[in-house]
Chains A and B, each alone.
Chain A
């Protein structure tokens, strides 16, 4: 029962972060919100008894993907080279 409550709270966090990520106007905030959704998903995988998937999602989905997005945003917000 307690596992179900924890799982339901985490899934609510995932859906809320996903909604934020598609509705925010600032691209940097949207990228960080998508990273937050990945983080909640990683904790959900631990509750679902899949620790390998949780480690991979936390390292790759919530860490490296957000960093790649931020690098791309930085490179496209400078004035374009002529």
Chain B
């Protein structure tokens, strides 16, 4: 009882601090100078129509590299904690088979879901979307496969190969930008092309495709590890 009252009191004090922040909040009326530069100079310098993608992949590309590294560490942690030990190798839990609706629909839906995910991250520089969203859709497709067939296993060698090569390719493209263009993860070492086409914005589609594949396969591996 005392613990609950103490928790309530501390949350009330925190709420008072938040109230002060909310009452004094005045929405901005114009973009601040950095955002204005990104919006005004982004399409001309980088050739991308989606400014959020331009910020994420080139202007703040180092933060995205850090994010990919943190996600890799957490996926490795999940793999370490839930690894199959030697004495558990022989046990198999009995699974109920999935219903016929799911089992039949997965044959039809799975290629469409993978195609949608690939479309989202290939067109990341033109429409809303990008690597993270497309990767999440890919992982949802993998999850559907795991739900439909309880005894399915991911092919570990393929998944590991895809994931490592995508991560390695991402750093390689960054170093290519350093060697051939302005700096690390600069996308101008390929031709910028015409604005609004699929093959435009230099190396930005390549980076986003690599991020999408890496995040998708990593999430799928985490899901399969947590299932059993």
Partner-B contacts on A (CB < 8 A) = 51-52, 55-56, 59-60, 63-64, 67-68, 71-72, 75, 81
By a CB distance below 8 angstroms, the chain A residues around B227 are 71
On whether A59 and B128 interact (CB within 8 A), knowing A67-B143, A67-B223, A75-B228, the answer reads: no
Which of B129-137, B173-181, B183-191, B194-202 contacts its partner?
A: B129-137
On whether A68 and B136 interact (CB within 8 A), knowing A52-B52, A81-B88, the answer reads: no
By a CB distance below 8 angstroms, the chain A residues around B209 are none
Interface of B is mostly: helix
Given A63-B140, A64-B140, A71-B226: 17 more A-B contacts, CB < 8 Å? A51-B128, A52-B52, A52-B53, A52-B128, A52-B133, A56-B132, A59-B136, A59-B140, A60-B136, A64-B136, A67-B223, A68-B222, A68-B223, A68-B226, A71-B223, A71-B227, A75-B226
27 contacts between A and B (CB under 8 A): A51-B128, A52-B50, A52-B52, A52-B53, A52-B130, A55-B129, A56-B136, A59-B133, A59-B136, A59-B137, A60-B132, A60-B136, A63-B136, A63-B140, A64-B136, A64-B143, A64-B219, A67-B143, A67-B223, A68-B222, A68-B223, A68-B226, A71-B223, A72-B226, A75-B228, A81-B88, A81-B91
- Contact, CB under 8 Å: B128 / A55: yes
Say yes or no: is B139 at the interface (Cβ < 8 Å to chain A).
yes
Partner-A contacts on B (CB < 8 A) = 50, 52-53, 88, 91, 120, 128-130, 132-133, 136-137, 139-140, 143, 219, 222-223, 226-228
Residue on B with the closest CB to A68? B226
Residue on A with the closest CB to B52? A52
Interface centre among A55, A56, A59, A67 (most CB of B within 10 A): A59
> How many Å lie between the Cα of A63 and that of B223 in the bound state?
12
Residue on A with the closest CB to B215? A60
By a CB distance below 8 angstroms, the chain B residues around A52 are 50, 52-53, 128-130, 133
> How many Å lie between the Cα of A63 and that of B136 in the bound state?
9
- Contact, CB under 8 Å: A64 / B139: yes
By a CB distance below 8 angstroms, the chain B residues around A68 are 222-223, 226
- Chain A nearest CB: distance from B79 CB in Å? 14
By a CB distance below 8 angstroms, the chain A residues around B226 are 68, 71-72, 75
